[in-house]
Structure 1
Amino acid sequence: METSEGHPEPEWDIRPARPADVEAIAELRAVVMRPDLERLGRYDGHRVRQRLRDGFSPRHTSIITSEGTFAGSVTLRPSDSGLWLEHFYLTPALQGRHRAEGEAHPCPNRRTYRRCQGVSTACRS
């Protein structure tokens, strides 16, 4: 199946994060945040990576893979009012590529939303 843009549909999987995942996530964070931070005049490659390293929690983070390759991560932390979506990074090449609701392989942000819904608490970002 193809997306509306004619790209092949990626297949998604989510697994628990491990401490060794921190560098891949830090690098992806730097890539996806760079355009916005540069526009604001605030991009510092070392700082954007280090802030992720300093707060990284494998316990609350899941790794998104597409066809067996690292594609992103999502961090959901518990809060007093439910779950807090702290980080959600997806490799730029895969952004915007998803199937319609109810299809066999929903995009990871839909899965994350469903995960929040299934916890019977609020999920906020």
Structure 2
Amino acid sequence: MRILNAPKVSLVQAEDNDFEELVALRIEAMRESLERVGRFDPARARERFRAGFSAIHTRHVMVNQQRAGFVVVKPGPDQLLLDHLYIRPDCQGQGIGAAVLEKIFAEADAQAMPLRVGALRDSDSNRFYQRHGFQFLSEEEWDIYYIRSPR
């Protein structure tokens, strides 16, 4: 699905029965990055996503009434966690992820909450999050964590 011009992005609440579609999209979107670090395992990716799946915190990313990805934002006591942001590979590089971040930033700012995100080491998402104002927070063996303060 190639989007021309600026995308009109909306977020639509996910439901429990969306799990299969969401996990398939996650595996598709993460495949290249996970292969790059030698950690692509669809069964493991599925298990990890199932363990943390919460439909109430998950929204479909819709572009021109078509599903282009999904985002998961979970509340915490002192920050919001941007737990997942996946855009289908054929929809990447079109400003969709940036448009989603604008919406999530507005929500975080309205609550005066910092927004935390983790990105797989060596993934292009590290540059994406830094480009959009996230600051380095910490790193672990496989992931790098960033934070964005509320505006």
TM-score (norm 1): 0.81
- Assess, with a 3 A threshold, how the Cα gap between structure 1 residues 59 and 40 changes in structure 2: closer, same or farther: same
1:68-100 Cα shifts (integer Å, max 9, x gaps) = 22111111111122211111111122222138x
Report the equivalent of 1:118: 110
Q: 2:34 aligns with which of 12, 34, 37?
A: 37
- Please, which moves more after superposition, 33-42 or 7-16? 7-16
Aligned alpha-carbon RMSD (Å): 2.0
Letter aligned with residue 51 of structure 1: R
Distance 1:72 1:64 in 2: 5
Task: Structure 1: give runs of 5+ residues left out of the alignment.
Answer: 1-6, 100-105
Q: CA deviation at 1:13?
A: 1.4
Name stretches of at least 5 consecutive residues in structure 2 with no aligned partner: 118-151
Report % sequence identity.
31
Aligned with residue 71 of structure 1, among 68, 73, 84: 68
2:111 is paired with a residue whose SS is: coil
What SS class does the counterpart of residue 104 from structure 2 fall into? helix
Aligned length: 114
Identify the match of residue 8 of structure 1 among 1, 4, 15: 4
TM-score of the pair, normalised by structure 2: 0.68
Aligned residue in 1 for 2:17: 20
| Structure 2 SS opposite 1:80 | coil
Asked if 1:87 corresponds to 2:84, the answer is: yes
3-state DSSP of counterpart to 1:84: strand
Provide the rounded CA distance (Å) in 2 between the counterparts of 1:84 and 1:52: 15
Q: Match of 1:107, SS?
A: helix
| Alpha-carbon shift at residue 11 of structure 1 (Å) | 2.3
Structure 1 position 57, deviation (Å): 0.2
